[in-house]
Structures are given as C-alpha cells and as structure tokens.
Amino acid sequence: MKTLEELRKIRDKAKKEMQLRNSEYRIKVVVGMGTSGIAVGARDVMKAIFDEVTKRKLDHVLVAQTGEKGLSSMEPVIDIIEKDKSIVTYGHLTPENARKIIVEHVVNGRIVSDFVVATKTNLEV
C-alpha cells in the first residue's frame, strides 16, 4: 500500500465489516485473551462458548477475541455486543457460567446480572 487513499479505503471497508449492521451476525461475543485472562481460564471459557454456539446452531453469533482491558481481577472477561443495545461486560467467568450467559443472554435476551461487571452505551454497532 502506498497512498493515503488506499489506506482510507481499507479503513472504511474494515470498519464496515466490523459493524454488526453490515454483517450476517447479530451478536458478537468477544473474549479477552490476554495473559491475565488466559492464566485464569479464558481458553476454556472460549472453548465452552464455541461449543455452546455450535451445539445450538447460533449462526447469528460471532465469537471473536481481543486483548485485555485491565480488569485483571475480574478475568476471564467477555463482552456481548448487540445492535442498538448497551455493551455488557461479564467477568469472573467459568466455562459453566459462560454457557449460562450464552443461553440466558444470547438466546433468551436476558442479562445475567450476577456476572455483569460493566455496561457501556454503544453507538457504533
């Protein structure tokens, strides 16, 4: 890539692809996979989420990974991002309660308040 125009084109395309409204997915589950998260089981949480999403054929759910936000003592941490809704961050997860969150929040649309550690208004989905 050699010009600013090319760069901006890639930026706009990538931005669009990241937005849920432009994709086949309606919900994005983002797992924090930094060292702090992995050290307390983020990989198992990720596996459980994948498993639950596949088993239930939740084709509208995208599972993605990210680094760490700094919430170390609350790891493993995941974000659930949905169009027109606040981003909900869950913490202190185990594979079991991650499965519960997939069922309750992602499938039934009910926030599992026991594990919520933060919420954030989301304007860019």
Partner 1 sequence: MSDKISDILICFCPDCVSRGAGKIKELFQTSLIKHNLSNDVNIIETGCMGTCDLGPVLTIYPEGYVYIKIKPEDVEELVTEHFLNNRPVSRLMLPDTFGKSLIKKIDIPFHRKQMKVIMENCGVIDPGNIEEYFATGGYETLAKILLEKSPEELIETLKRSGLRDREGGGFPSWQKWQYVLEAQDDPKYIIVNAEEGDPGVFISRALLESDPHRILEGMITAAFAIGAVQGYIYCRNEYPLAIIRIKRAVEQAREYGMIGENIFNSGFSFDVEIRRGAGSFVAGEETAVISVIEGLRGEPISKPEFPATSGLWKKPTLIHNVETIANLTTIFSKGASWFSSLGTNSSKGTKIFALSGAIRNQGLIEVPFGITLRELVYDFGGGMKPGKNFLAVQLGGPSGGCFTSQHFDIKIDYEFLQEQGITLGSGGVIVLDDSSCLVDLARYFLEFTVTESCGKCLPCRVGLRKMLEILNRITNGEGELEDLNRLESLGSKIKALSLCNFG
Q: How far is the CB of 21 from partner 1 (least distance, A)?
A: 14
Whether 27 contacts 61, CB under 8 Å:
yes
Q: How far is the CB of 6 from partner 1 (least distance, A)?
A: 9
Residues that bind partner 1 (CB under 8 A): 1-4, 7-8, 10-11, 14-15, 17-18, 30, 32, 34-36, 38, 64-74, 77, 79, 85-87, 89, 91, 104-105, 108-114, 116-124
Tokens representing residue 107 in the block: 């499938």
Q: How many Cβ atoms are within 10 Å of 29's Cβ, its own excluded?
A: 27
Q: How far is the CB of 91 from partner 1 (least distance, A)?
A: 7
Whether 21 contacts 70, CB under 8 Å:
no
